[in-house]
Chains A and B, each alone.
Chain A
Amino acid sequence: MKILEEKIFKVIMICAAMIILGVLVYIIGTVFYRGLPALNLDMITKLPGGGFYLGKEGGVLNAIVGSIYIIIGSLIISILISVPLVMYVNFYLPPKSVFASSIRFSLDILFGIPSIVYGAFGFALMIYLGIRASLLGGILTVAMLIMPIMMRSFDEITRLLSHDLPDALLSLGATKYEMVKVIVRQLMPGLITAILLAIGRGIGDAATVLFTTGYTDNIPASLNQPAATLPLSIFFQLGSPVEEVQNRAYASAIILTIIILILSFSARYFSSKFTKNKI
């Protein structure tokens, strides 16, 4: 009986792994099968020319640059807000603080809100502030989207930190601020993981930038100009009746994936550079 139990559970586990692998291979396979032939140097070095969405020549450089601008801008904003918040919740508030748990609870709710709602909210806010659809609007809205993710995952990792390090620092006569500075160094890998999760969600999201960033065939020269983004670029190309353009959408998806990969690897690289003295 026990052996049977063991066998059944093993089969279930293997099936689960296979399903996940299968889905992944299918998605990547489709993207590469359709996108790879359409992927060429023009795609990443040229702006869309006239009639690009009808099959004429050009590339998606506008969207690549726009997406990178937006994700970097929103990362800067959300890191500047997330790190102080997580440190405050974990090291300044008492462990059983009601305030801390209500912050965590609100982050959990924000985490689950669909991105289109952020888009709509950002749009409403922009109308109120009198900002047009622009790079700045996109950066702010994407920052709102990724902040809860970054905060919550950084918070989870910070909570796992043992008391030894804070205690050691305090007993040396460090002030809380001095203590937090060392702790952030120690938690750098956790912060990098949080940033990677945030990049993954933020760079691929179409709904937040739909109303707030607009779309353009040019590279934005300032914060109050509209910007193109890869997810929207993919959306518009897929909507084209021309098959060649649809294939270019898959090629753009490959570019997006590669950008995420490059960001991930460089984050890991810098994280290992920063944390060679980690405990």
Chain B
Amino acid sequence: MIPANQILIKSNQNSFIEMNNEIILKKLIVNQSIRIENLDVYIEDQHILKDINLTIPEKSITCIIGPSGCGKSTFLKTLNRMHDESPEVKISGKVFVDEENIYGQHVNVIDTRKKMGLLAQRPCPLPMSIYENVAYGPRIHGIKKRKAINQTVIQYLQYVGLWEEVRDRVRTSATRLSIGQQQRLCLARGLAIEPEYILGDEATSALDPLSTKKIEELFVKLKEKYTIILVTHTLRQAKRIADHIIFMYMGKIIESGSTDEFFNNPKKQLTKDYLSGSFS
């Protein structure tokens, strides 16, 4: 269904060309932040991800779409090695982050995770105050000075637009925030560890439309500095904020390309069917 080594390359016009030419790939590789080669993931005996080859362009939003159970979340988890915690998951293939294979022998998993800020489906504030939630990441990564931590907390709370809303109660429990505020707090908490990438696993699916809008706006703002990879269920969301789309089905990448091209001119029949709502 897909070419053996389907590769996406970011062209000058900020759009994708789909090709099999490895020579061009090698030339352009420097600009590309995450590169995945021959990735296969098995959970127990099930083959969840099948021969994934792709490159995720930096400083842009890449949305992964596809029906439930197609392996989107599994794929996202391979990027920050969260599968390490589940012994039943077997992974083969290479995932290059900043030209380093994170499944290589001498890679420290903490360093990999520190590069990836994860925003989960349901916000999960830590059982601490709002302030401590944001300060937690910098603290465990060795920042001790109170002034520096203070600055970081305020900076990122401001960044996600939460500072004005909570400035009088940063020492109170994070759980008293509304769920939309909690999700922004989780984003601030993730940003405070100063990652290079942001992973979102259906990060807005539990939120109301207004909070969703705020998070989406943040993602658009964040792509200036970060490479963002989002898993989403809603095609409209992908259409609104994504620069690039990856469509997955049954553990394979069916089609990928720039958002315009993908929605207006899909190449594969399966993609057309999915976009028209024949299955979901």
Contact = CB atoms under 8 A, between A and B. Distances in A.
Most chain B beta carbons < 10 A, residue from A96, A164, A171, A278 = A171
B92 to A, nearest CB: 20
B110 A169 contact: no
B82 A171 contact: yes
B273 to A, nearest CB: 33
Interface string B158-189: 00000000000000011100000000001001
A278 B129 CA distance: 9
Interface stretch (B30-38, B118-126, B246-254): B118-126
B175 A167 contact: no
A178 B124 contact: no
Nearest to A168: B124
B140 A168 contact: no
B129 A173 contact: no
A15 B141 CA distance: 60
B141 A173 contact: yes
B140 A172 contact: yes
Given A182-B127, A278-B175, A164 B140 contact: no
Contacts, number: 73
On chain A, which size bracket covers the interface?
Answer: 20 to 34
Contacts of B116: 171
A174 interface: yes
Contacts of A171: 80, 82, 113, 116-118, 120, 190
Interface in B80-133: 80, 82, 85-88, 110-111, 113-114, 116-118, 120, 122, 124-129, 132
Nearest to B112: A173
B213 to A, nearest CB: 24
Given A165-B124, A168-B126, A178-B140, A173 B110 contact: yes
Q: Is the interface of B mostly helix, strand, loop or mixed?
A: mixed
Contacts of B126: 165, 168-169, 182
A279 interface: yes
A115 to B, nearest CB: 36
Contacts of A277: 127-129, 132, 173-175
B127 A173 contact: no
Contacts of A276: 173
A278 to B, nearest CB: 5
Contacts of A166: 85
18 contacts: A94-B87, A95-B86, A164-B120, A164-B124, A165-B126, A166-B85, A167-B120, A171-B116, A171-B120, A171-B190, A172-B190, A173-B137, A182-B128, A182-B136, A185-B127, A278-B173, A278-B175, A279-B175
Interface of A: 94-96, 164-175, 178, 182, 185-186, 275-279
